[in-house]
Structure 1
């Protein structure tokens, strides 16, 4: 029984190595790029708003 389980595990690892496509799909990668760009834009907008608030406070 142990030999059977070990044999199945070996066959599974070999098949996974030979046939599995583990790379993310282009659609997933494109979504990740969009999220990163959106986060950078939000950080830039927050920095800009903070700088404007600081300038307004100085002028008062």
Structure 2
């Protein structure tokens, strides 16, 4: 590490879906509001939780 270089935190989540998942055509036909819905998913891993920068610990 170089002096003054910020420390990189280890990831606390693992990505399940790389892109947002949208409703299928038959689901959108049955439920028009599903057209604008987007699902993004991550899973918690074994790393300890971190606080937001400037947040309370």
Note whether the superposition's TM-score is higher than 0.5.
Answer: no
More helix by share: 1
The TM-score, its normalising length taken from structure 2, stands at: 0.26
- Who wins on radius of gyration, i.e. which is larger? 1
More strand by share: 2
Q: Which has the higher contact order (CA 8 A, sep 6+)?
A: 2
